[in-house]
Structure 1
Amino acid sequence: MSTGFSPHNMLECKGSQELQRFADKKIRPASGSQSAACVAEISALLQLIQGCFPVPASRVIQGGSYVKRTDTQGCSEIDIVLLSDVFASVNHCKKQLREGLETLRENLKRTSHGNSLHSHSFEIMAYYDVLGPTPSTDLKLHLYRKLYLCNDSDEAQLCALALLPYQVDFVKASVVRVKELSRLMIHWFKTSFANTTKENKFRRLPSSYTVELLTIYFWERAEKPLFFSLVQGMRAVLKLLVRYAEIDVVWHRHYHPKFPIFVKVNQKHTRPFILDPVNPTVNVCDTCNAWDEVAHVARLSLLKPLFRGVRAEPPWLFTNDW
């Protein structure tokens, strides 16, 4: 295990003000004309994607860091889910999905877009509209049961696409400062670890969504302050990453604590455990297979100048126990 720290890493900042200047200059998405250019570019690409899709789409769902407003200055992640009634029959839709997405890929290759000095990473998926735009509670519970009983991981992932709007809403509901902390932690994951090599090519670090949920959890545990020190917030998250086996996070906004599927999943869960707040069948920490490396880099990060001499302040005093 090794780190990827550079001399210009944000962990070399000395104090909150210097970190804020770094975040404003290097991490926060651009505003003004560059932001307007991004909006126009993404809108054009969305129209192009829908126009190139070989079957009519009944609805389009958007997700990713750009939609959740946790994107960074250099790059936005945008998830596009194209929903079509053509895929309603699961038995033969996989072949149609492959053919449809391949046609879309070839069409997009023949186009040229990009003038905002900002890269956009698109992930395009397609399926049928399992829930519809305004699903009843019973329909969502039925989907949870289907996901829990599904033995086909590919089909389960496709069905779970219907929950993307609720994931987006969950993250967007947090205050601006939490999104700033999420950006910093996502940037930390991108800049503090050793590059991919032949030896670690199968390493998977936590997803951006996992990082967003972890920062929201800390904000809630700190009693949801509107304003707080980013240094204190980063320190809190890093201290828990060192003790990742203690991560055990569950929300009950979309499913009841006595909901049978939640009870079954919760009884057999392993740590670290962050249950997707909109899907009681998924531990988002399972996307990572390198938690020991995460803890190692977090431990070394806490020794950097940014945290030197820093002690917990209200409302982060609960981190003194770690």
Structure 2
Amino acid sequence: MGNLAPSSVPTSIPTSRPTQELEAFIQKFLRPYEGCQKQIDNALDTICAALHEAEEFLVTDVVKGGSYGRETVLRDHSDGTLVIFISDLQTFTDQKKMRYEILHKIWNWLKHCQLERKLAAKMDIVMSHGRLFIQLSTRWQSITFEVLPAFDALGLSEKPSPWTYQELKRSLDMTKASPGEFSVCFAKLQQNFFNNHPRKLKDLILLVKYWYQQCQKKLRALPLLSSYALELLTVYAWEQGCGAEDFEIVEGIRTVLGLIKQSRQLCVYWTVNYNFEDETVRNIVLGQIRSPRPVILDPMDPTNNVSKDNTCWQLLKKEAEMWLSCLNESPGPSWNVLPASLQETPGHRLDKFIKDFLQPSEAFLNRIHKAVDIICSFLKENCFRYSTTKVQKAVKGGSAGKGTTLKTGSDADLVVFTTSLNSYTSQNTERCDIIKEIRKQLEVCQQQEKFEVRFEISKWKAPRVLSFSLKSKEFHESVNFDVLPAFNALDKWKPGSTPSPKVYRDLICLYKSSNIVGGEFSTCFTELQRDFIISRPTKLKDLIRLVKHWYKQCEKKLKKKGSLPPKYALELLTIYAWEQGSGLADFDTAEGFRTVLELIRRYQQLCIFWTVNYNFEDAIVRDFLLTQLQKTRPVILDPAEPTGDVGGGDRWCWYLLAKEATEWLSFPCFIDGAGHPVQFWKVPTAQTPGSCGARLHPVVDEMFSFRSRQILNKNARRNF
């Protein structure tokens, strides 16, 4: 391959058929030729061996860094570093004082040891403005390595200790060195960081770097930005949005360019090598993430913000917008990645985080509402036209119905009440036929109306639900819908009134006499679920959005470890926290968020219910509720439907969420503007019938209080 003439590199990324062509483009034009790469590898190994044999200075290790060490070398010409750890450099300050002296020793050694005859590649050595470079060249490839003598900050350790970073900060202050000046001391960490990522991600990095090269050629006055910043941004995009070894390159490049468009909001860092446990390190990181955006911290060195030039980012933003318009000619997905993560957003900025990243745009919501209204009207007026079955009503449920929709990837339910489903049992036996008919009619609706609907075929042989998505090409936001046939159990119920106890008596009797799962018929009570949340203050709905976003982050991380409780359980827990801890239309969002996480941490004590739709007055309902409340904690009863315990006891892995909640409490989102820990509301973990106004025999209420004390004592012993 090294003897073949190279193909001429196109001046732009292929955008006509990106999914099919991008991988071939990378292989054909961006990866170095294998033969050329081997020649440079062999030459560099020879140089490293010679450095170890030097007599004027003792080399303890040599680390290959830069693009070469990260395996993100572009064809033709690229960069690298040779970080040479010298035994005489015992501290960061030694490196600062002795750097030029040792560089000259290395230069003299390389000039006089006559390596050229031993190398598989041509070598040029240049000393310029106090910097030493080695350029290795073959016929079709050259790599320029900067030689960097360094103090080995890790020694024999695989990970730096907090003391290492404390000493780093002290040395920076004492020597008045620039932030990031000692990053080379952590070159081994950089090598390990990139070694742990798949080859295809590095191909995506090549594509991003090639795009940046094209921008540089077009904008000759473009201020210099380290390509390392774009490499880290690409890693962040992949980690947050994909994480799979095999993925669509076009989705990745769309995501990275989309993040560049939002550069004024970028705040990216990792906690693989440093975190918030040590006070000095915490203050360094907090100082960085509170500084003007964009912020991209070196995963190895918290003092090093690699994205400093805002002017460059603004020019790149315009280029990203132009390239995205080409890539989006054939609309395709990108990964759902925010330019700043929730955990690194200081507590006093959570309201802005919600507004910027979680609230859907008004224009999109209006489109969704209009589309849903069209579908609902269509179902009611056109389905079953040639049948005795009729649609009584179609009700919006889920996030769209409750007013807690997230900007991307939210869910909604369209519950369709038909005349043929005249009992709970008929809902179980006949809904498959209803789904088939609705599917057929919705496909007709899709052809007639002016919006995009993507149908997803159910995996079940006897489908219980029809799923589809409503998307906006303009705003790149989506809501997933489930169409669910249901029995109209509420019948003559009017909004704002309390359902008849008979509704719940019938449901409880069926639940006791059959093998149905609790909450099986919750769709019958969609209007009650919707009204329970939709009437709440706007800021509480925003807090619910924040908790749901947190839950999605946990879900992504924990999906292979166990089954998590449903999102609805966390929505109810958030409402409970606000009712018991604040009750105000305006409150501190960070305090509310922390309160919810504190309750999750104490999940084994949770016993929560409401009496807005059912209560203890009817004997059958009362006896059933008393039984429900004595179940294994956590108990969180659906306020619309008493058989639905979304707490679930041991059914779900609450302990996984509790562990995440504990870890999150150390993150900046729970640090206020003054640098102090965010407070939380004092909220009881368990309710008793008496606390909700039920007039039961005192012995009954004492029984529940005793049960709560038992659980508290049991958990205290376990924790001890």
Change (3 A) 1:298 1:89: closer
**Following superposition of structure 1 onto structure 2, how do residues 1-322 of structure 1 map, counting pairs within 5 Å?**
7=269, 8-16=340-348, 18-31=349-362, 33-50=363-380, 53-54=383-384, 55-88=389-422, 94-109=428-443, 111=446, 113-114=451-452, 116=472, 117-134=476-493, 137-153=500-516, 157-158=520-521, 160-195=522-557, 199-200=560-561, 203-257=562-616, 259-267=622-630, 269-286=631-648, 289-308=652-671, 309-312=676-679, 316-317=681-682
User: CA offsets per residue over residues 19-56 of structure 1, 9 Å max, x none?
Assistant: 2221111001212x333222222222333444564441
- The residue type equivalent to 1:23 in the other structure is I
- The residue type equivalent to 1:74 in the other structure is T
Alpha-carbon distance in 2 for matches of 1:318, 1:262: 22
Given that 1:9 and 1:191 are in contact with CA atoms closer than 8 Å, whether structure 2 keeps it comes out as: no
- The residue type equivalent to 1:237 in the other structure is V
User: CA offsets per residue over residues 271-307 of structure 1, 9 Å max, x none?
Assistant: 1111111222221112961211101111111111111
User: CA offsets per residue over residues 60-86 of structure 1, 9 Å max, x none?
Assistant: 232111111011112342212222222
TM-score by length of structure 1 reads 0.84
Change (3 A) 1:104 1:213: same
User: CA offsets per residue over residues 203-243 of structure 1, 9 Å max, x none?
Assistant: 33232321111011011111412211111111111112122
Q: Which residues of structure 2 form unaligned runs of 5+? A: 1-238, 241-267, 270-339, 453-470, 685-715
Given that 2:598 and 2:661 are in contact with CA atoms closer than 8 Å, whether structure 1 keeps it comes out as: yes
Where is the strand percentage greater, Structure 1 or Structure 2?
A: 2
Given that 2:564 and 2:653 are in contact with CA atoms closer than 8 Å, whether structure 1 keeps it comes out as: yes
Alpha-carbon distance in 2 for matches of 1:81, 1:107: 15
Query: 1:94 Cα deviation (Å)?
Result: 4.4
- The residue type equivalent to 1:190 in the other structure is K
Change (3 A) 1:109 1:195: farther
Given that 1:11 and 1:305 are in contact with CA atoms closer than 8 Å, whether structure 2 keeps it comes out as: yes
Percent sequence identity over matched residues? 23
Higher RCO (Cα < 8 Å, 6 or more apart): 1
Alignment coverage as a number of residue pairs: 308
- SS of equivalent residue, structure 2 residue 412: strand
Mean CA deviation greater in 61-70 or 111-120: 111-120
Larger radius of gyration: 2
Alpha-carbon distance in 1 for matches of 2:518, 2:667: 44
Change (3 A) 1:134 1:190: same
- SS of equivalent residue, structure 2 residue 396: strand
Alpha-carbon distance in 2 for matches of 1:63, 1:172: 10
- The residue type equivalent to 2:612 in the other structure is R
Mean CA deviation greater in 111-120 or 301-310: 111-120
TM-score by length of structure 2 reads 0.40
Change (3 A) 1:58 1:317: closer
Query: 1:310 Cα deviation (Å)?
Result: 1.4
- The residue type equivalent to 2:645 in the other structure is N
- The residue type equivalent to 1:128 in the other structure is F
Query: 1:178 Cα deviation (Å)?
Result: 1.0
Q: Which residues of structure 1 form unaligned runs of 5+? A: none
Alpha-carbon distance in 2 for matches of 1:242, 1:154: 27
Given that 1:147 and 1:281 are in contact with CA atoms closer than 8 Å, whether structure 2 keeps it comes out as: no
**What RMSD over aligned residues (CA atoms) do the two structures have, in Å?**
2.9
- SS of equivalent residue, structure 1 residue 261: helix
- The residue type equivalent to 1:227 in the other structure is D
